[in-house]
Chains A and B, each alone.
Chain A
Amino acid sequence: MIETRLGEFEEVILLLAGILGEEAYAFKIAEEFESQTKRSVSIGAVHSTLTRLEDKGFLKSEMGKSTAERGGRRKRIYTLTAYGKKTLATARDFRQSLWNQYPGFATSKLSVGL
Chain B
Amino acid sequence: MNNETPPRLARQFLNYFLRKNLCEEVRGDLEEKFYLDLKKKSAFKAKLNYWYQVVNYLRPFAIQKRKSHLNHYDMFQNYFKIGWRSLSKQRMYSSIKIGGFALGIAACSLITLFIKDEMSYDLHYPDGDRIYRVVVAYNFKGEAGKDVWFQAPFANALREDYPEIEKAGRYNSSELFGAGSKEIRRADRIENTYEEGFVYFDQELLDIFKLPMVYGNPAHALDEPNTIVITKRKSEKYFPHENPVGKTLLLNDDEKKPFKIGGVIEDFPATSHIQFDFMMTMKGVEFWKGEQSTWNATNYPTYVLLRKGADANQLQKKLTGIIDKYLLPVWLKDGVPDAKVMAKSAWFELQPVKDIYLRSEGIQDPVSHGDIRFVWLFGAIALFILILAMINFINLSTAKSANRAKEVGLRKTVGSLRINIINQFLTESLIYSFFSFAVGLLLASLLLPYFNMLAAKSIVFPWNEWQLFPILIGAALVVGILAGLYPAFYLSSFNPASVLKGNVSRGSKSATMRSSLVVFQFTTSVVLIIATFIIYRQVEYILNKKVGFDKDQVMLIQGTNTLGKEIKTFKDELLQLSQVKSATISDFLPIRGTKRNGNGFTNEGRDKIDRSVGVQVWGVDYDYVKTLGMKIVNGRNFDEKMASDSTGIIINQTMATKLGLKNPIGKRIQNWQYIQ
A interface list, Cβ under 8 A from B:
25-27, 30-31, 42-45, 47-48, 51-52, 63, 69-71, 73-76
A43-B61 in contact given A25-B25, A73-B28, A75-B28 (Cβ < 8 Å): no
Contact yes or no, B24 A52, CB < 8 A = no
Q: Which residues of A contact B32 (CB under 8 A)?
A: 27, 69-70
Q: How far is the CA of A48 from the CA of B58 in the complex (A)?
A: 10
Q: How far is the CA of A27 from the CA of B36 in the complex (A)?
A: 11
Contact yes or no, A70 B56, CB < 8 A = no
12 contacts between A and B (CB under 8 A): A25-B29, A26-B25, A27-B32, A43-B56, A47-B62, A48-B61, A52-B61, A70-B28, A73-B25, A73-B27, A74-B28, A75-B29
Interface 1/0 per residue, B20-45 and A, CB below 8 Å: 00001111111111011000000000
The 6 closest A-B pairs by CB, nearest first: A73-B28, A42-B56, A44-B56, A27-B29, A70-B28, A44-B57
Q: Distance (Å) between the CB of B1 and the closest chain A CB?
A: 13
Q: Which residues of B contact A51 (CB under 8 A)?
A: 61
Q: Which residues of A contact B33 (CB under 8 A)?
A: 27, 30-31, 43
Q: Distance (Å) between the CB of A29 and the closest chain B CB?
A: 10
Q: How far is the CA of A31 from the CA of B35 in the complex (A)?
A: 13
Q: Distance (Å) between the CB of B63 and the closest chain A CB?
A: 11
Q: Distance (Å) between the CB of B179 and the closest chain A CB?
A: 74
Task: Assess whether B141 is interfacial by the CB under 8 Å rule.
Answer: no
Closest to B27 in A: A73
Q: Which residues of A contact B53 (CB under 8 A)?
A: 42-44
Q: Distance (Å) between the CB of B614 and the closest chain A CB?
A: 87
Q: How far is the CA of A25 from the CA of B36 in the complex (A)?
A: 16
Q: Which residues of B contact A44 (CB under 8 A)?
A: 53, 56-59, 62
Q: How far is the CA of A3 from the CA of B53 in the complex (A)?
A: 28
Q: Which residues of B contact A70 (CB under 8 A)?
A: 28-29, 31-32
Q: How far is the CA of A25 from the CA of B24 in the complex (A)?
A: 13
Closest to A52 in B: B61
Q: Distance (Å) between the CB of B597 and the closest chain A CB?
A: 84
Q: Which residues of B contact A31 (CB under 8 A)?
A: 33, 36
Q: How far is the CA of A63 from the CA of B24 in the complex (A)?
A: 10
- Bin the interface of chain B by size: 20 to 34
Q: Distance (Å) between the CB of B52 and the closest chain A CB?
A: 7
Q: Distance (Å) between the CB of B256 and the closest chain A CB?
A: 83
Q: How far is the CA of A44 from the CA of B60 in the complex (A)?
A: 11
Q: Which residues of B contact A74 (CB under 8 A)?
A: 24-25, 28
Contact yes or no, B56 A75, CB < 8 A = no
Most buried by B among A43, A48, A63: A43
Q: Which residues of A contact B24 (CB under 8 A)?
A: 63, 73-74
Q: Distance (Å) between the CB of B145 and the closest chain A CB?
A: 79
Q: How far is the CA of A76 from the CA of B27 in the complex (A)?
A: 12
Q: Distance (Å) between the CB of A17 and the closest chain B CB?
A: 14
Q: Which residues of B contact A27 (CB under 8 A)?
A: 28-30, 32-33
Q: How far is the CA of A52 from the CA of B61 in the complex (A)?
A: 9
A69-B56 in contact given A43-B29, A47-B62, A75-B25 (Cβ < 8 Å): no
Q: How far is the CA of A73 from the CA of B23 in the complex (A)?
A: 10
**Which B residues, 46 to 69, have Cβ-Cβ distances below 8 Å to chain A?**
52-53, 56-59, 61-62
Besides the known contacts A43-B57, A75-B28, 6 further A-B residue pairs in the complex with CB atoms under 8 A apart: A27-B28, A27-B30, A27-B32, A47-B57, A63-B25, A74-B24
Q: Which residues of A contact B36 (CB under 8 A)?
A: 31
Q: Distance (Å) between the CB of A38 and the closest chain B CB?
A: 16
Contact yes or no, A47 B26, CB < 8 A = yes
Q: How far is the CA of A73 from the CA of B61 in the complex (A)?
A: 21
Q: How far is the CA of A51 from the CA of B57 in the complex (A)?
A: 13
**Which B residues, 483 to 532, have Cβ-Cβ distances below 8 Å to chain A?**
none
Contact yes or no, A26 B62, CB < 8 A = no
Q: Distance (Å) between the CB of B17 and the closest chain A CB?
A: 12
Q: How far is the CA of A52 from the CA of B60 in the complex (A)?
A: 11
Contact yes or no, A43 B25, CB < 8 A = no
Q: How far is the CA of A11 from the CA of B25 in the complex (A)?
A: 23
Q: Which residues of B contact A45 (CB under 8 A)?
A: 56, 59
Q: Which residues of A contact B25 (CB under 8 A)?
A: 25-26, 63, 73-76
A42-B52 in contact given A48-B61, A52-B61 (Cβ < 8 Å): yes
Q: Distance (Å) between the CB of B373 and the closest chain A CB?
A: 64
Q: Distance (Å) between the CB of A107 and the closest chain B CB?
A: 45
Contact yes or no, B31 A71, CB < 8 A = yes
Closest to B36 in A: A31
Q: Distance (Å) between the CB of A99 and the closest chain B CB?
A: 35
Closest to B49 in A: A42
Q: How far is the CA of A27 from the CA of B29 in the complex (A)?
A: 5
Q: How far is the CA of A62 from the CA of B604 in the complex (A)?
A: 119
Q: Distance (Å) between the CB of B59 and the closest chain A CB?
A: 5
Q: How far is the CA of A34 from the CA of B337 in the complex (A)?
A: 104
Contact yes or no, B31 A73, CB < 8 A = yes
Q: Which residues of B contact A48 (CB under 8 A)?
A: 59, 61-62
Closest to A73 in B: B28
Most buried by A among B24, B25, B52, B61: B25
Q: Which residues of A contact B56 (CB under 8 A)?
A: 42-45
Q: Distance (Å) between the CB of A21 and the closest chain B CB?
A: 17
Q: Distance (Å) between the CB of B217 and the closest chain A CB?
A: 59
**Which B residues, 327 to 386, have Cβ-Cβ distances below 8 Å to chain A?**
none
Q: How far is the CA of A73 from the CA of B28 in the complex (A)?
A: 6
Q: Which residues of B contact A69 (CB under 8 A)?
A: 32, 35
Most buried by B among A27, A48, A71, A75: A27
Q: Distance (Å) between the CB of A30 and the closest chain B CB?
A: 8
Closest to A50 in B: B61
Q: Which residues of A contact B58 (CB under 8 A)?
A: 44
Q: Distance (Å) between the CB of B35 and the closest chain A CB?
A: 7
Q: Distance (Å) between the CB of A22 and the closest chain B CB?
A: 15
Q: How far is the CA of A51 from the CA of B28 in the complex (A)?
A: 17
Contact yes or no, B59 A26, CB < 8 A = no
Most buried by A among B29, B36, B59, B61: B29
Most buried by B among A42, A45, A75: A42
Contact yes or no, B28 A71, CB < 8 A = yes
Closest to A77 in B: B25
Q: Distance (Å) between the CB of A16 and the closest chain B CB?
A: 15
Interface 1/0 per residue, B171-201 and A, CB below 8 Å: 0000000000000000000000000000000
Q: Distance (Å) between the CB of B581 and the closest chain A CB?
A: 94
Closest to B31 in A: A70
Q: Distance (Å) between the CB of A62 and the closest chain B CB?
A: 11
Closest to B57 in A: A44
Q: Which residues of A contact B27 (CB under 8 A)?
A: 71, 73
